[in-house]
């Protein structure tokens, strides 16, 4: 939800994100909506959405191994993380899921099948691994399919793991 109370819903079957304002039953497409594909006006199996203060919509475009940013009113998105085919390089993602963006515009991504959390500062083409990336597992330096991310009001990052059935608090400033 945004600060106006609008609800944003990811529809992975229609490959779109819709915004519903209070009282609306249909909503409007704010990202994707042009069928499944890898063009800048398409999504493929979108999973998570994050809305910033400017109402830009960030979508984890899992099938395209990228995170897209759709500025309010845009007809196509901008790749802000990944988008260089599936892989484990610093320009690549593998089925990204959770996505959050801090006040500086830094994008944090739960890189599910690479078992890592990546950080992409605004405007860069290469991300950095902030934790994980050591294979799937249950050790303190490992994740097993991270899927959800959230910051609390003190800028602590929380990571939800699918296979380990746990939530971890990560210090992103180290």
User: Residues 110-115: what's their mean pLDDT?
Assistant: 97
Query: In the predicted model, is pLDDT for residue 99 greater than 80?
Result: yes
* pLDDT, tens digit (0-9, with 9 covering 90-100), for 120-172: 999 999 999 999 988 899 887 889 999 999 998 888 899 999 999 999 998 77
Q: What is the pLDDT of residue 38?
A: 97
Q: What is the pLDDT of residue 70?
A: 98
Query: In the predicted model, is pLDDT for residue 112 greater than 60?
Result: yes
- Determine the Cα–Cα distance for residues 138 and 134; give it in Å rounded to an integer: 10
**CB–CB of 32/13 below 8 Å?**
no
**CB–CB of 118/88 below 8 Å?**
no
Q: What is the pLDDT of residue 35?
A: 97
* pLDDT, tens digit (0-9, with 9 covering 90-100), for 13-32: 999 999 999 999 999 999 99
Q: CA quadruple 58, 14, 35, 6: dihedral positive or negative?
A: negative
Question: How far does the chain reach from its first CA to its final CA, in angstroms?
Answer: 30
* pLDDT, tens digit (0-9, with 9 covering 90-100), for 127-137: 999 999 888 99
Q: CA quadruple 62, 65, 67, 71: dihedral positive or negative?
A: negative
In order of their start, the domains of the chain are 38-171 (2.120.10.30)
Mean pLDDT of the residues in the chain: 94
Q: Helices then strands (H, E): number in the chain?
A: 0, 14
Q: Per-residue confidence at 174, pLDDT binned at 50, 70, 90?
A: low
Q: Which pair of structure tokens corresponds to residue 48?
A: 């998570």
- H-assigned helices in 96-156: none
Q: Per-residue confidence at 173, pLDDT binned at 50, 70, 90?
A: confident
């Amino acid at each position: 939800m945004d600060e106006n109370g609008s609800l944003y819903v990811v529809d992975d079957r229609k490959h779109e994100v819709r915004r519903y304002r209070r009282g609306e039953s249909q909503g409007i497409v704010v990202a994707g909506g042009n069928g499944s594909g890898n063009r800048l006006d398409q999504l493929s199996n979108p999973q998570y959405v994050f809305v910033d203060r400017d109402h830009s919509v960030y979508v984890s475009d899992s099938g395209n191994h990228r995170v897209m940013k759709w500025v309010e009113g845009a007809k196509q998105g901008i790749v802000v993380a990944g988008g260089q085919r599936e892989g484990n390089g610093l320009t690549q993602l593998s089925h990204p899921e959770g996505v959050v963006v801090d006040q500086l515009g830094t994008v944090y991504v739960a890189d599910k099948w690479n078992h890592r959390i990546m950080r992409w500062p605004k405007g860069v083409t290469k991300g950095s691994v902030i934790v994980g990336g050591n294979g799937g597992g249950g050790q303190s330096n490992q994740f097993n399919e991270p899927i959800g991310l959230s910051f609390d009001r003190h800028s602590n990052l929380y990571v939800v793991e699918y296979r380990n059935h746990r939530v971890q608090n990560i210090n992103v400033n180290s």
